[in-house]
Structure 1
């Protein structure tokens, strides 16, 4: 067997350099980030995304392989996300029709003088798109945050923050639907929020807990000490009577794993991911994993979201939960920004033990990870920290639906249903009028023949009229409800003052 000594040397250097960096400050760009749920993507077109302030594009070739490029054509720097995925499995820039394969190689420049000239231009490294390593794991598309040959080597040395239970093929493991949403607050505020179980019964009153009964005392005990690469974890004590153990485990850069173990042995695992997209925003991907106990009993899920439901309905209903603390986190972020880079611990007042994990998270960010996210060159860290109008925070279309093929398909079907229901309501109403008019005409004719003097206004409509009128009302109500449901794909507004 022949060994490529140059490649072996490159790999050895990459491992040595990678391990050396692992001992120092957290390397934000040398990490895997989940950026999409594969089944929610439309493979027929490219998708623009952002990661660490970089503009990127995802697309799938004819071999069903997803690739990630810098969202910039090397020709004239226009967005490749505005291009097309062609039938031959190449990505076409819609400005001048340059084509790229999944490795980023330019394979066609149609404005060239002839094929030979085109081939010469394509062989120039300047014609190549900038590529980023990708992989599919557990239904998610992961992107390594650096490009280049060195990044390809380094990306193979680290495993994404996957969910171990999903690697086990067992009927005891139940994986509920993935949800994805772009949120108008930063990665750090997302992680701070999910490290804070004390807010759950208060902010999510009515869905998970009761603000008046469940805002109780508990302590948080550190069970995994802070480290640069492995984060830290805390256990809640005491827990609810039905819970034996509850653990929050922060796994940098993007994963918060929350495990609640029931006294009967069942487990509820909340797998929460947040990838920093641009300043003031993050992309959240999450799911629930239910682990049955030895007797095969299923644990309860998180509120109504543990019930069996189609994926699109879970996505629509997620707004009920996400929007309950969205306003808090957005304005918390902008308020802190007004303090002009004062230390977080110097700005807040945290006297109770429930804040231990939040404090530890902020210490990890400050001591182990450079204090903030190193956004891409040219990305203004203050650009997206401006306060948005409150109503704009509740936008569902831009932050989810337009990028989710499952929800777009469901929305089309719901629109067909409410249009059909309104159409049937009109038909039944017309039928009621016809039935009533015929009855009046018949009775009027009988009155003339029998020379009756009974006023027609006293004639009671026939049974068929009422059935038709009831059908019209029923279909009108059904159409209204479907139309109201479709509204949730666009916007869902929430006020705590109305949540009794």
Structure 2
């Protein structure tokens, strides 16, 4: 919004949404604006509308009326969409007041006007009050209540900057000579520069590196935690440190230095430029943004100290400004004079995650699309090649089918005729014929060949086909419908590990345990990246884990591969325990294996020393690994394909392990796999519901204080930077409500093995069928045997009292040749054995459906 010079703009139209306005100033007190509106989820396009804004004397916007193509007019609030792209306001010297902004990009440019923001939560926030280069004088001042942003840029052009609380991954505040006061600051990469002005910060916690420069004025920090460089070329530096938190501090001061006596400070070169260069590499390190409920951070008494009294007073004044704004709380900031009776309550802003522009480490926008990747949707051996098979991926339903040549294809699960579900066995029953690329080849209902050819030539007759491939025993799908999807998929290698190719380490048949998990894709990957949870969450009775004998784990970053993931080394504190490496290869693969390479390699032979021979030590001649492919299906759920391998130091299969593995039925391996994940199902399902209910912000919901949490933080940061913060589900499936709806299930449903696995697994389906047949046959046998035993006993009793009343053939049949021992006893024994077999078969059958979870006893 570009208003006339000197006017004041108050964003307070009372609407539930907002628009991005740009206008030309008009001297008559009105401005014509062009607005680009983002429609709601029912529309994927955007349209442009014109608005007439009426300005009162002083320039405050009181009404905005849409100028529709027709003669009718409507209020702006009535024409607002339910989604929007951001708030962008520009004035030629006028001041701007903003009340509450939630999950919106915020850009304010005043060219000398003051800015007041009460509360803002944004992915990208930029506020600039500097004047134009040809204009004389300082820029406008800024007063901000609470500001949370991934990328933040504040520049005042000499005006003072006062912030109550600041949360940011990457923040830069530059006042160019004005005072800077910040009540509480939490960030990863932070740069504060007041040039020649004083700089005062209350509580500061930085997990990356904070660079604070005040030029020639005083610099004061209270409650310092984390890594920081404090530079004051001509002023004093004074800092109060938190003795309970780790602190790494570099100080360069032209004046006096006053620090907490408990801290040992290494003094770098005094030149600020040299210090800044030395810290540039450290600025690239980004750990975690740790936030929480913060109390007020009083800055009273924070001064520069030392010999610069004028600098001290200016630093105290900047600190007091932050304190005043902090004490105001939710009240309207008093920095801007408002017309009588005006409301400072700005419109409440919302938007969906997919509309948030993602920014990289340097604040440059990225447009990740993790739908442009291969995802495993099913194990090929579990698919039925004689009929369509349904699967769900990224919130959409697909149908998998094999042609006469055995090649697998994937379509969207909708018929182009009348939207019938193709996976319900209708593919071959429809009159239309579809080939593997989705094109329609025949419509028998067409009257003649010409009309049939015309109908088949229409794109609307085609099914939506997706690239599909088979690799490692899995069927992979590329869930992208862009025009170049086939070329992109062909140019991208299916991520099948080498140890899965020849079946040497992992058998070709029955290798995959496929299961739908009642928690989301990111929660499963988090769980694998957290090796310390196993002893506490897994069931000790079934899996053999004991929380009283856990080993402290240290996770060290081995390799950061950027968009291609990362590798972490797990280093146990117990020297007798062998470490491992966790590989995350997005979007679907995570492995635990003994080496850092994707392909396990032979290790150098060495004789087992005394340390290796101690009780409790692991055999160094045995190597093993876990392979997990996981695909997001719908909000709150994912599909897992997991397997394991075990080998000797030369990466050859162990004979004893092979014999044991081959002897165990595949269905039994899968049942044991359920036992391993039993604790995770319960605890992760509950955690996923809480995470969604709290807004899905890991920085606020999680507390990750140890190095064992490093891989979890790396994964969440990877998602923020390279995956847009989450899975690109369709618009109607986004948000916490969709996750909570899908996770609104009972504990029994969460542990339902049949719907999550058995119905998708050919091995377990066959085993369940055999078990049910055995149970039924045993029941019939038991009933027949018990009935025969009762009959034999009755005949013998009747023969004992009245032999003439019993036919001879019947008496001979039940008396086994007239001997004392008849058939009653054997039949009774057979009946009892059959009853036992039936009960056992029903117990085994129950394992395919549901098993009550027993919480671990610590």
Q: TM-score, normalised on structure 2? A: 0.49
Partners of 2:662 and 2:701 lie apart in 1 by 41
2:832 corresponding residue in structure 1: 473
Q: Are 1:415 and 2:757 counterparts?
A: no
1:148-167 alignment runs, 5 A limit: 148-167=482-501
1:211 corresponding residue in structure 2: 546
Q: 1:249 to 1:299 in 2, by over 3 A?
A: farther
Conserved in 2, the CA contact under 8 Å of 1:200 and 1:208? Answer: no
Partners of 1:354 and 1:300 lie apart in 2 by 34
Partners of 1:168 and 1:416 lie apart in 2 by 36
1:149 Cα offset (Å): 4.3
Q: Deviations over 1:32-85 (max 9, x none)?
A: 00000000011122122111122211111111111001111122222221243x
1:138 corresponding residue in structure 2: 472
Conserved in 2, the CA contact under 8 Å of 1:105 and 1:127? Answer: yes
Partners of 2:707 and 2:661 lie apart in 1 by 29
Of the candidates 386, 407, 412, which is equivalent to residue 65 of structure 1?
407
Partners of 1:367 and 1:120 lie apart in 2 by 47
Partners of 1:173 and 1:489 lie apart in 2 by 24
Conserved in 2, the CA contact under 8 Å of 1:174 and 1:289? Answer: no
Conserved in 1, the CA contact under 8 Å of 2:792 and 2:822? Answer: no
Q: Deviations over 1:127-154 (max 9, x none)?
A: 1111100000011000012125411111
Partners of 2:562 and 2:547 lie apart in 1 by 37
Q: 1:145 to 1:240 in 2, by over 3 A?
A: farther
Q: 1:157 to 1:298 in 2, by over 3 A?
A: same
Partners of 2:503 and 2:636 lie apart in 1 by 38
1:156 Cα offset (Å): 1.4
Query: Which stretch of the first structure deviates more once superposed, 188-197 or 68-77?
Result: 68-77
2:375 corresponding residue in structure 1: 33
1:168 Cα offset (Å): 4.7
Partners of 2:465 and 2:491 lie apart in 1 by 18
1:223 corresponding residue in structure 2: 558
Pick 1 or 2: higher relative contact order, CA cutoff 8 A, min separation 6. Answer: 1
Partners of 2:720 and 2:798 lie apart in 1 by 86
Q: 1:480 to 1:283 in 2, by over 3 A?
A: same
Q: 1:24 to 1:207 in 2, by over 3 A?
A: farther
Conserved in 2, the CA contact under 8 Å of 1:34 and 1:141? Answer: yes
Q: Are 1:290 and 2:646 counterparts?
A: yes
Conserved in 2, the CA contact under 8 Å of 1:37 and 1:139? Answer: yes
Cα root mean square deviation, aligned: 2.8
1:383 corresponding residue in structure 2: 738
Q: Are 1:147 and 2:481 counterparts?
A: yes
Higher strand proportion (structure 1 or 2): 2
Partners of 1:29 and 1:401 lie apart in 2 by 28
Say which SS state the counterpart of residue 723 (structure 2) adopts.
coil
1:36-435 alignment runs, 5 A limit: 36-84=378-426, 91-92=427-428, 94=429, 97-168=431-502, 170=504, 177-204=511-538, 205-229=540-564, 231-238=565-572, 244-260=578-594, 263-294=619-650, 298=654, 308-341=663-696, 343-381=697-735, 382-386=737-741, 387-435=744-792
Conserved in 1, the CA contact under 8 Å of 2:514 and 2:640? Answer: yes
Unpaired runs of 5+ residues, structure 2, are: 1-364, 596-617, 806-819
Say which SS state the counterpart of residue 398 (structure 1) adopts.
helix
Q: 1:111 to 1:377 in 2, by over 3 A?
A: farther
Q: Deviations over 1:272-302 (max 9, x none)?
A: 111011111111111112223349672998x
Q: Are 1:484 and 2:826 counterparts?
A: no
Q: 1:70 to 1:256 in 2, by over 3 A?
A: same
Partners of 1:68 and 1:435 lie apart in 2 by 63
Conserved in 2, the CA contact under 8 Å of 1:290 and 1:299? Answer: no
Q: 1:128 to 1:136 in 2, by over 3 A?
A: same
Conserved in 1, the CA contact under 8 Å of 2:389 and 2:423? Answer: yes
Partners of 1:357 and 1:28 lie apart in 2 by 20
Conserved in 2, the CA contact under 8 Å of 1:266 and 1:299? Answer: no
Unpaired runs of 5+ residues, structure 1, are: 1-22, 85-90, 449-460
Higher helix proportion (structure 1 or 2): 1
Query: Which stretch of the first structure deviates more once superposed, 262-271 or 30-39?
Result: 262-271
Conserved in 2, the CA contact under 8 Å of 1:242 and 1:263? Answer: no
Conserved in 1, the CA contact under 8 Å of 2:572 and 2:578? Answer: no
Conserved in 2, the CA contact under 8 Å of 1:48 and 1:55? Answer: yes
